[in-house]
Chain A
Amino acid sequence: MAQIEVRHLSKTFTSKDAQVNALKDINLEIEQGDIYGIIGMSGAGKSTLVRCLNYLEKPTHGEVWVDGRDLGGMTEKELLRQRKDIAMIFQHFNLLMQKNVVDNVSFPLLIQGVKKKEARKKARELLGIVGLEEKELAYPAQLSGGQKQRVAIARALASEPRILLCDEATSALDPQTTASILELLKDINTQFGITIVIITHQMSVIRKICSHVAIMSQGEIKESGLVNEIFSHPKTREARELILKDIDGEGAVHLAKPQDRLMEAKKIRIVFSENSSFEPVIANMVLKTGRPVNILKADTKNVGGIAKGEMILGLPEDRKLQQEIEDYIRARGLEIEEVTGDV
C-alpha cells in the first residue's frame, strides 16, 4: 500500500446560494520517499486537496489513507496525534510573529508536551540543518522571505514527520531564493526519507525537484505519473499548456513573431532525449530537404537530471514536404507530436 492513498475524494463547499465542487473524484497514490508535485492554475482545487491530506479540510466523500490508516475513521484525538507525522509549510510562512526563531521551531514540540529546554536544544539542531543557527534570537519580522521559509521548514521538521506538505511554499519568493529552498527540500527528502507533497502553479518547481506530478484542473486530476514521462508525452491539453507556459517562464527562445505563427499550416513538437541533442538534426534536415522550417520555440531543460530538449516547429504548407520532414525527424529517433492552437 502506498504511503498516502486518496480514494474517490470529493469536496463540496456549500454557501448560502451556491455550491462549489472544489474536488471531484480524486484518486492519488503517493509512495514513501516520493517528491510528489500537484500542479494547477489557481482555483484548480490543489490547496483544498492538500488540506484533505491532513484533514484540515474534511472531504465530503471519499477516503484518505496515510500509512495504512484511514484519517476519516479517526477520533479527534487520534487525528491531532496523526498530524505530528504530517508537517506542513505555507506560502506566507505562517510563523508566530511575537516569538523568536528558536521558539517558533520549538513550538510543535511544546504542543506535544516536550520540555522547553529540550525543545530549544532540538530547535537549535534543526536551525543548523536549514542554515540559520545565528538567527535563533531574531524575530520573524527581521528575516527575509527565504529565511522565514527556512524557519518554517525547521519547524516542520521538529516533530520528525514522515510527510511534508508544501502549499505554494515558494510562490512568495524570488527565483534565486526559490531555487535554494527547493534545494533544501530535496536534501531533506534524501537525508531523512521524508515524503514531500508540493502544491504549486509553477512548472519549474515540478521540473526541478519532483519525481511525480499530478496535473489538476477544475477540481479534477487530469493526468498523473512520473515527471519525466509527462514532460515527454503530455497526454492532455492541460499538461501541454502547463509545459508550454514553463518554457515561457524560463527565458525561452521566441523566434517567430505572433503574426508569423498564424501563417504556419502545421506545428509540430519535437522532443530530444539525452543523445539526440548532440546531433544538429534540424540543420541537417533543412540542408537535406532544401526547405526552411520556422522554429517557434526552443528550449532545453534539466528534467530530473536528464537533459530534455524541446522544440516547436512551424512546417511549410506543402503536405508532401511536411511528410518528408516528419519522416526525416522520426528516422533520427525523435518523437513528434502535432501541436494545435496558439503556441
Chain B
Amino acid sequence: MFSSEVIQMLIKGIGETLYMTLASTLFGYLFGLPMGILLTISDRDGIRPNSILYKILDVIANIVRSVPFLILLIVLIPFTRLIVGKSYGSTATIVPLVVAAVPYIARMVESSLREVDAGVIEAARSMGASTFTIVTKVLLVEARTSLIVGVTITLGTILGYSAMAGTVGGGGLGDIAIRYGYYRYEVGIMAVTVVLLILLVQIFQTIGMKLSVRLDKRK
C-alpha cells in the first residue's frame, strides 16, 4: 500500500522518535533526579530542611512547567544552537525536550520519594546513616517501584512532546505526521504514524509496569 520510500521514511521516523525520547529521558533524569532528591530532602519535613533551596527549586520547576512546550521550543532556539550547533533535526530537539523534562521529572521523583515511610528513614538515622546514605540506600531503594512507574510515564510524555517538535522540523514520527498528513493531506500516512506512536507508548507502558511489579517486594 505504501511505496518502499515511504516505508523507509517511517522506519527512520521510528528511529528518530526513539532516539529523541530515550536520549531526552536519560538526560532529563541526569538533572531531574538530583533536582527531585534536593526538593525532597530540603523540604520542611525532609531530612535536610533548607527553605531557601527548596523555594528556589520549587519556583524554577513551576516556571518551566508553566511555559507551553511549543513556546519553550522557540524561546530556546539560541540556546540549542549554542549547544548542538543547529536548531533543527532530532539532536537539536533533544535540548528543549530535556529542559522541559527536567522539572517534570523532578516533580515525579519528589512525589515518589515522599511515599517512603518516614519510620524507615528514622530507623536509618538512628543507625547513624548520613544524608547521602539515606538517599542512596533508603530513599531510592524503597521508592524503586514508584520511580520506575515515573520513568514509564515520563517516556510517554516526552514521546508526545517529541511529536510536537515535528511542527518546527524536529524530525521523527511527529514530523512525518505534520508534513505528510497535515500539509499534504495524506491521511493514510498520518494514520500510520499515529498508530505507530500509540504502539510505542503502549510498549513503554507495558515494559515499565511489568518491571515495576517484578521489582516490588512488598507483596
Which residues of A are in contact with B by a Cβ distance under 8 Å? 54, 56, 79-84, 86-88, 90, 92, 94-100, 107-108, 110-112, 139, 141, 152, 159, 165
Contact = CB atoms under 8 A, between A and B. Distances in A.
**Nearest 3 pairs of A and B residues by beta carbon:** A83-B128, A94-B123, A94-B119
Nearest to B216: A98
B126 A88 contact: yes
Contact of B217 (A83, A97, A152): A97
Interface stretch (B99-107, B136-144, B154-162, B184-192): B136-144
B127 A94 contact: no
Given A99-B141, A107-B137, A139-B217, A94 B120 contact: yes
A90 B129 CA distance: 17
B117 interface: yes
Contacts of B117: 94, 97
Given A94-B119, A97-B218, A110-B137, A84 B127 contact: yes
B66 interface: no
B45 interface: no
A100 B216 CA distance: 12
A111 B120 contact: no
B217 A100 contact: yes
B205 to A, nearest CB: 22
| Interface magnitude class on chain B | 20 to 34
B130 interface: yes
A96 B130 CA distance: 16
A90 B125 CA distance: 13
Contact of A95 (B120, B122, B130, B145): B120
A159 B217 contact: no
Interface in B88-127: 117, 119-120, 122-127
Contact of B129 (A86, A97, A111, A165): A111
Given A92-B119, A110-B137, A98 B126 contact: no
Interface in B176-219: 215-219
A155 B127 CA distance: 10
A80 B128 contact: yes
Contacts of B126: 54, 56, 83, 86-88, 165
Given A56-B122, A108-B127, A97 B137 contact: no
Nearest to A79: B128
Contacts of B217: 97-100, 139, 141
Contacts of A159: 127-128
A58 B218 CA distance: 33
Nearest to B120: A94
A324 B154 CA distance: 85
A80 B130 contact: yes
B122 A94 contact: yes
B123 A90 contact: yes
A108 B129 CA distance: 8
A98 B123 contact: no
Contacts of A99: 141, 217
B99 to A, nearest CB: 32
A142 to B, nearest CB: 9
B149 to A, nearest CB: 14
B51 interface: no
B112 to A, nearest CB: 13
Nearest to B143: A98
Contacts of B129: 80, 111
A100 to B, nearest CB: 7
Contacts of A97: 117, 120, 142, 217-218
Given A56-B122, A100-B217, A110-B137, A81 B128 contact: yes
A92 B122 CA distance: 11
Contacts of B138: 96
